[in-house]
Chain A
């Protein structure tokens, strides 16, 4: 077990101990199947005393956690990006403290390309980390629009950090909050999309799109005015934006004609 730092500043006490634990005994294989991963990451040398105190990722994490609780995503992204670009040694595993919330924040804001680019920044050994792998799967499935997988990957992420072996409870809490926000905003967007795209949709298909059972789905649908036919189990979405683009404007065509003829004659003058 690493030595505790001599006189750490009180606010980051917990973080430094967490970080020490992280660097020495990396998060164990959270999905149980990725045995090669621990070997790869256990090659990390134990940190020196000074590194622990200067670790920018650990130091900024309390602020990130605070912003996550308040759901201030844009500020979270700003702070995380500043930390990312100014951090000298970015091979450290504590970088996860910043990367995971950053990627989740981009997903919540539906900024998919840059979420992918952030994951691409990571060096290979961090990429093997199981937490990052889970996050990567979520991002990939989101990018592909594979609804079922999005929900299952989100759940896998939450389950992974809920296990007792995962030793960063603060990070776990932030992840829980953010995944929940992500699912909320994602379902919202899905709702708008389906209202636009479907004239009628079977209940089972809708359950797949929302990752919710019918008992949770039907009340929400009803609240938005969707009609439900119990016999055929079909939902009828109501388009939420004006159907102006579907319907020709209700103007008399003769009036239009006069209008156009008049403007043309004026052009002639």
Chain B
């Protein structure tokens, strides 16, 4: 007699006794004769004894079953309100902390269903931010690597931003696990699948969070990903992509001094719209932007011009939630003027620098210069009389090991970092390649190699290869003779036939 999949008791029995997970997944997924809605209802009901099915299941061992029941109950409770008993918050928390990812991957669409109900449940519990650690756990443990994008990722970021509660874990996730893979699956409900918008939202929101954290390099990457996401043929780019472009440009000015070239595959429609917006004028007026005409003569007047432009469109920036970035841009502008000065001057007094940037207060100029030295934007020293001396970096910028470490992400254990200068590195590499060349030559000379080479080449023309040519793999055709100029120095005699 076939196991009973039409009652909750039967399902629980199968879940607890099944040895074959795939078969179980199949059973749970196919509603059979009764249809999908009835199956959901069955999953959401209590056992015939009145007991809660979740109390007999183990979260880790029966992840699949628990997942189905939890997602069904939460979905029905929040959408249908049909007297379904809501699972306890504590149970949900425990599930998110302890679920078995391998079992969960057999039915990912249920996990997505669960995730979508989490924010509703958290609100019910009194505070939306309670969902954040749960969503984080689901998003990072469900796919095989944490760098895989799931539909849960954008929900996580959106919740964090809405509650203004950005946790350190989220920041670490954004920086150390940029997306390089997609979590694709075909769900029963198509709205649970990974969609184009998920990618867009995740990278746009991720860019915003990273900008707030001051990690401009990563923020630029995220904004660029959002804005260059390809849209289907003939459809216009998304409005969100235009917003990403605006923010990208603003952050490029703040962090890099001016707009950088965008990838070739950026939508030209976006570029056109952006050029027509006031943001473009703002970018052009920024020192470090490649439009000298718009910069205006004399950088201090350029700075003044920047402020005028900002004030003109202040309302627009405010309504588009970019005013904070724009104000930061104006504050950072003098630094890029100073950066340009380093290309022309070796020494300059603080007062003179102040004249260039349009700031009279010497203390303020001093603070600005010190700030730039601290962030290693420039390499300079100040003397007690207020003269700033700019130094060149002779190929080795003063980058310390600590600066590199965040760029490398997580290193395997046992690998240390050591500061080494470029000439020394170059020398080491050249020693290595000389050594390799020597080894290669010796191999080419060796008797075994030559005999093997002749055997495999059969009638073909080439003899033992020399330095720079690899092991005897491919040989030219019979008719080809090696041209005399190709082999530079004296080598073994080549044997040629034909």
Contact = CB atoms under 8 A, between A and B. Distances in A.
B437 A193 contact: no
Interface of A: 77, 81, 84-90, 112-114, 117, 120-121, 145-146, 193, 196-202, 205, 232, 234, 241, 244-246, 248-249, 251, 259, 262-263, 266, 269
B405 interface: no
Nearest to A143: B214
Contact of B382 (A85, A197, A266): A197
B126 A89 contact: yes
Contact of B427 (A77, A205, A259): A259
Contacts of B126: 88-89
Give the top 9 A-B pairs by smallest Cβ distance, nearest first: A200-B384, A245-B398, A113-B214, A197-B373, A113-B213, A199-B381, A88-B126, A234-B384, A202-B384
Contacts of B381: 196-199
Contacts of B168: 77, 81, 114
A145 B370 contact: yes
7 contacts: A85-B165, A114-B166, A193-B370, A199-B381, A245-B394, A245-B396, A248-B394
Contact of A81 (B167, B371, B398): B167
B384 A201 contact: yes
Interface in B211-227: 212-215
Nearest to A229: B384
Contacts of B166: 114, 117
B129 interface: yes
A113 B212 CA distance: 7
Contact of A196 (B133, B171, B212, B373): B373
A246 B130 contact: no
Contacts of A205: 384
A269 B367 contact: no
Nearest to B125: A88
A251 B427 CA distance: 13
A112 B244 CA distance: 25
Contacts of B127: 87-90
The size class of the interface chain B forms with chain A is: 35 or more
B391 interface: yes
Nearest to A256: B423
Contacts of A251: 423
B289 to A, nearest CB: 26
A195 to B, nearest CB: 10
Interface in B384-443: 384, 389, 391, 393-394, 396-398, 400, 421, 423, 427, 430, 433-434, 437
Contacts of B394: 245, 248
A241 B488 CA distance: 48
Contact of A269 (B165, B373, B384, B488): B488
A164 B373 CA distance: 43
Contacts of A81: 167-168
B338 to A, nearest CB: 14
Quick one: which of B171, B373, B381, B433 has the most chain A CB within 10 A?
B381
Contacts of A245: 379, 391, 393-394, 396-398
B255 to A, nearest CB: 14
A85 B367 contact: no
Given A85-B167, A90-B129, 13 more contacts: A77-B168, A81-B167, A88-B127, A114-B166, A114-B168, A117-B164, A117-B166, A117-B212, A145-B371, A201-B382, A205-B384, A232-B384, A249-B423
B290 interface: no
Interface in B441-484: 467-468
Nearest to A77: B168
Contacts of A114: 166, 168, 171, 213
Contacts of A146: 367
B132 interface: yes
Quick one: which of A112, A120, A145, A197 has the most chain B CB within 10 A?
A197
Contacts of A90: 127, 129
B133 A86 contact: yes
A205 B342 CA distance: 24
A249 B395 CA distance: 11
A177 to B, nearest CB: 23
Contact of A200 (B214, B383, B396, B427): B383
Contacts of B164: 117, 120-121
A85 B133 contact: yes
Contacts of A263: 430
B374 interface: yes
A241 B400 contact: yes
Nearest to A209: B370
Contacts of B374: 145, 193, 197
Contacts of A259: 427, 430
Nearest to A243: B398
B165 A199 contact: no
B398 A145 contact: no
B380 interface: yes
A121 B166 CA distance: 8
A197 B380 contact: yes
A199 B171 CA distance: 38
Contacts of B467: 269
Interface string B253-284: 00000000000000000000000000000000
B384 A121 contact: no
A205 B382 CA distance: 12
A200 B380 CA distance: 13
Nearest to A148: B363
Contact of B213 (A117, A202, A234): A117
Nearest to B389: A199
Contacts of A262: 430
Interface in B154-168: 163-168
A148 B435 CA distance: 59
A228 B166 CA distance: 47
A269 B495 CA distance: 21
Nearest to B166: A117
Contact of A266 (B129, B171, B214, B437): B437
A108 to B, nearest CB: 15
A114 B171 CA distance: 9
Contacts of B379: 245
Nearest to B382: A198
Interface in B327-373: 367, 370-371, 373
B95 to A, nearest CB: 16
Nearest to B398: A245
Contacts of B400: 241
Nearest to B371: A145
Contacts of A113: 212-215
Contacts of B165: 84-85, 121
Contacts of B398: 241, 245
A251 B389 CA distance: 25
Nearest to A114: B168
Interface string B127-170: 10110110000000000000000000000000000011111100
